Structure 1
Amino acid sequence: MIRSLLAAAFALLAASPAYAADTCATPADAKVATSTDTAALNKGVACRTARIKGRQDTIIGLQAANKVDAEQVAARVARLAALAAPPKSPLTPKPPVVTSPPAPPAPTPTPSASQGNATQPIPGGTVAVGLPSIASNFPTAGLLEPAYQTGVLGAIPPSGVPDVVGAFRFICTAGQIARDDPIVFPGQPGQSHLHQFFGNTGANAFSTFNTLRTSGDSTCTNRLNRSAYWVPAMLNGKGGVVRPDFVSIYYKRRPAADPECQRMGKACVALPRGLRFVFGYDMVSGKAPTGHGYFNCQGNGAKEGHYADIVEAASHCQIGSQLGLIINAPNCWNGKDLDSPNHRDHVAYSEWTNFPTGTWEACPATHPYVIPTFTLGGWYTVDADLDRSGTWDAKRPTWSLSSDDMSAMGHGMMRPGSTLHADWWGAWDDDTMARWTANCIDKLLNCNGGNLGDGWQMKQEGPPLTYKAEPRVVPVPTI
């Protein structure tokens, strides 16, 4: 119904002259939910759609100015659908749900204190098994809106070809700062080095899959993604924490039907419920870091590149530019554990491997299931507190990660940025994850801005994105 109404709206647009800006509020925005004037509702849809189409060549406009118009178009389309529905139908119809391919029944997971929660994977683009499903405890339909990534309301994102992976991207903002780590130090507040969280706003030392799924807002678009992400806090060397302007998250994986999935391992599967892991520098063993982490600079005269640490990157950053930390999550899973004693061994990374019949990317035989990986990129505005000389003196104040100070472990101060790592605990709404997996990933689409690949996208909850942290620097917490 909604798609047909959208089609009708665009047909009306094609046959009608452009409307002046002050005529778009037809009926008045505050009266849309109760209006019975279908002509006025259709006129409002066409007018606002015209304004969106008029901004197609302005990326900032698509992400900001179009937001209000898209929301009002969605409200009018929903009202038109309600008027056309049988009397007992709800006033606000739910967005269409993408049905995942059928899957065999999932076995009941068996908890294991030492190995996490044992489970079995489901091949394909379905919601993977893991912990039992926990339904979202809020109306989910209200957190979706017609997609406007392409400038055409409700359009499907473009194909990712020639890339071989489907992509699902969105932006997060800075969340809480705490000396908590619910994976490494569960139930022990204040035990870890200082972390910058984003995603679930309620994540703390006592978090579990249950608490993440049932509480907290989200700094990653909205509560449909209550997953928790955290990295070491960025310290300025003068008693302050530098908060990221924004954090980009980019999930990707080959489509489940890609024959390469069977060469990489047994199958390409979705993320299992409750999966959690740590990646990057190993604070316990000091082994070679995983995740191909690096630093970068962008904007305001910066020289972009892959820099090993903050010291190297800083010499290429100008004041007012942005310093970025980038790291990649694991993409291989052992198929049975949601955690492991060191929070790393149940997941792994694919590598290009020589076989008797050729060379191709493959997961280790011990981790034969290919899961969506994600690239995490945190970006921080550079100020004069960052030593940009390209040299490092431990006695000279400069930016560093909280984890670089390993005095408590007997290692002293490490080179700034050398201990880059990240933690992740998945807590997605089941239906939302199933949709971006089935569409963006398994249909090889290029989805941006929380676009689910089926004409709908996650609606920004809370203040609009500004891509600037406010406040940018806060005092280091005393506890």
Structure 2
Amino acid sequence: MNRKIALGYLGGVLFILTTSCWAAPQAQVQCDYDHTLADDPILMPGEPGMAMLHDFFGNKHTNANSTNASLKAHQNASCNNAADASAYWAPALKLPDGRIIKPAYQKTYYQANGSSLPNLQPFPEGIQILAGNHEGTSSNDGVISFLCSNSSYSSVATTNCGPAAGADHVQLDIGIMFPNCWDGKTLIPKTYDDPTLVYTTGPNTCPADHPVQLPQVNMNVAYIIPGTTPFDLSKTLLSLDPVMVDGKMQAQWGSIYTAHGDFMHAWTTQGAEFMAVLCMNVGMDCGTNIPYAYSVAQDTYVSNLADSDKNFSTETIVKAQDTWNDSGPDNTQPQSIGLIKVDIPPLPDASTGYPSDPNVMLNYALRIYGANVSTSDSEAVFFHVVDNNWNASTVTWNTQPTCDQYSASVNPVLSSTMGWLYVDVTDMVKTAMDAGKTQISFCLTGAREGQVFNITSSEDLHSLVLMQRLTRKITSE
């Protein structure tokens, strides 16, 4: 079955989105602190050393001359998902006692803002986003928040920022919520007051002059501060742009309420598409499962008996049903075999660190949405590798590829409730690639006791996709 229509474009194909309700679907990435520079490639591009001190996360090559394109050309980053070569930065932090504390990491949640009608669009190539007020003197509710290990998140800086009970350090988090309604044209803001993006006014509500809703960037910068003595967060300082005094640059520091953040997008194109369209717009909490690249499946199923010459390519499910007797499949009973074929994405760019860096790992998974629809039990469905010599629009039971039902490659368990599942097919995909193949096909068979398994086909956004996942081991995990 081939994907047909929906609202918005994905890979050049137009789609219709189904409407549903959920609680804030999201994705996330965690990036170690990497370096500190007096650079700001968004507001002071091409002016190294002229900005406030910024702590940088993510792309290791970020400096005053960075652009979205340069980040993608040099993808080595400090993030646990190697699909993300973006740059994130925030001003350096100084405690009341004068110590400048380097952050440990930042964790960013990409969120759908509780939307009940999914209409998120992927980050456009080249977009750069600012959040916060670098001239702030008071709380910035809804945008900037603070968390100490002995308290909860608040927009007001506590005077008693201390450790959790029994801890030997204080963890301070500064949360920065970025705007997520885009004007549809401006990619690079000129000032913090430049309304390139604005905040939503409610679930799925963007103003008419900023009609494009993007995933909301919720960046949390974490500082691990040694010792158990509480400190006054309200008197903690953040770096400001330097000033010239007697012909010399002089560093400036401002209130904790000058907290702000910068984001320069450099996710892979397919990673950004997947995050918005195939994750949040279908109500899925994808966690760290945003692929470096993916392929949408060509899929269908075949059925025996009276349906042996019938093609099911217009169905919205991939069906597997299997009844066995003592000698094997019982073809006097109804049988259905699912068929899936996907292109294998090209290998990731070497600039990600793959395959030379042992901390960068590549794997493949089929993302499926399905269930055992015939009983209340959880049962296994069997995946077998088959030849690629079939076509979803013409294949029937009588013309199907040979499916060796005695030897399954993987057998994930599906419950009786429709749900998401990642099926690890790394070994099978790598074997196919070693044989010079650019596609891989699977047949799906049932639990051999007559149960019926339904898996949502590529007809809608609950799609069968092959995910190429590139993960990176980082020190903060």
Aligned to 1:281: 133
Deviations 1:413-437 (A, max 9, x none): 533x110000111111112222222
Does the CA-based 8 Å contact 1:291-1:330 persist in structure 2? no
Counterpart of 2:237 in structure 1: which amino acid? S
Q: Which residue of 1 aligns with 2:360?
A: none
Stretches of structure 2 that go unaligned for 5 or more consecutive residues are 13-19, 292-365, 368-421, 423-466
Which aligned pairs between 1:192-231 and structure 2 lie closer than 5 A? 192-231=51-90
Q: Aligned equivalents of 1:101 and 1:205: distance in 2?
A: 44
Residue 339 of structure 1, aligned match among 188, 193, 198: 188
Q: What does residue range 79-478 of structure 1 map to in structure 2 within 5 Å?
A: 124=8, 126=10, 162-163=22-23, 165-236=24-95, 240-253=99-112, 259=117, 268-283=120-135, 289=140, 292-298=143-149, 302-309=150-157, 311-312=158-159, 314=161, 320-342=169-191, 344-352=194-202, 362-384=205-227, 388-389=231-232, 392=235, 399-403=236-240, 414-415=254-255, 417-452=256-291, 454=367, 455=422, 456=467, 458-461=469-472, 463-467=473-477
SS of the aligned residue for 2:189 comes to coil
Q: How far apart, in 2, do the equivalents of 1:190 and 1:173 lie?
A: 22
1:200 shift after superposition: 0.8
Deviations 1:241-276 (A, max 9, x none): 4222331111112699x54x6xxxxx5322111110
Distance across 2 between alignment mates of 1:460 and 1:401:
32
TM-score by length of 1: 0.53
Q: Return closer, same or farther for 1:255/1:389 CA change in 2, 3 Å cut-off.
A: closer
Whole-Å Cα distance in 1 between the matches of residues 276 and 266 of structure 2?
15
User: How far apart are the structure 2 equivalents of 1:222 and 1:391?
Assistant: 34
Offset of residue 295 of structure 1: 0.4
The residue identity in structure 2 corresponding to 1:341 is K
Describe the SS at the equivalent of 1:423. strand
Tell me, in whole angstroms, the C-alpha distance in 1 between the residues paired with 2:469 and 2:204: 33
Distance across 2 between alignment mates of 1:181 and 1:404? 10
Q: Which has the higher helix share?
A: 1
Cα separation, partners in 2 of 1:314 and 1:449, compared to 1, 3 Å: same
Secondary structure at 1:438 match in 2? helix
Secondary structure at the aligned position of 2:272 is classed as helix
Quote the offset at 1:224 in angstroms.
Answer: 2.0
| Cα distance in structure 2, aligned partners of 1:100 and 1:245 | 43
Q: Please give the per-residue CA displacement for 1:320-348, whole angstroms capped at 9, x wherever unaligned.
A: 13111001111101111112332531110
Displacement, 1:184?
A: 0.6
Give the Cα separation in 2 of the matches to 1:101 and 1:442: 16
Q: Calculate the aligned-residue CA RMSD, in Å.
A: 3.8
| Percent of paired sites with the same residue | 24
CA-CA distance at 1:365 after TM superposition: 2.1
Distance (Å, rounded) in 2 between the aligned partners of 1:313 and 1:425:
34
How far apart are residue 194 of structure 1 and its match? Answer: 0.5
Question: Whose Rg is larger?
Answer: 2
Q: When the two structures are aligned, how many residues end up with a matched partner?
A: 292
Structure 1 pair 238–224 and aligned structure 2 pair: CA distance change class (3 A) = same
Distance 1:100 1:208, change over 3 A: farther
Measured in 1, the distance between the counterparts of 2:252 and 2:89 equals: 23
Cα distance 1:242–1:450, how it changes in 2: closer, same or farther (>3 A)? Answer: farther
Q: 1-side partners of 2:470 and 2:3: how far apart? A: 22
Letter in 1 for 2:10: T
- Secondary structure in structure 1 of the residue aligned to 2:126: coil
Q: Is the 8 A contact 1:252 1:373 kept in 2?
A: yes
- Change over 3 Å in CA distance of 1:391–1:324 after alignment to 2: closer
Tell me the SS of whatever aligns to 2:55: strand
- Greater strand share, 1 or 2? 2
Equivalent residues of 1:314, 1:387 under 8 A apart: yes
**Contact 1:312–1:390 at 8 Å: present in 2 too?**
yes
Q: Distance in 2 between matches of 1:390 and 1:254?
A: 29
Look up the SS of the partner of 2:43 in the other structure: coil
Q: Give 5+ residue unaligned stretches, structure 1.
A: 1-98, 104-122, 129-159, 262-266, 353-359, 393-398, 468-479
> Is the Cα–Cα contact under 8 Å of residues 315 and 390 in structure 1 kept in the other structure?
no
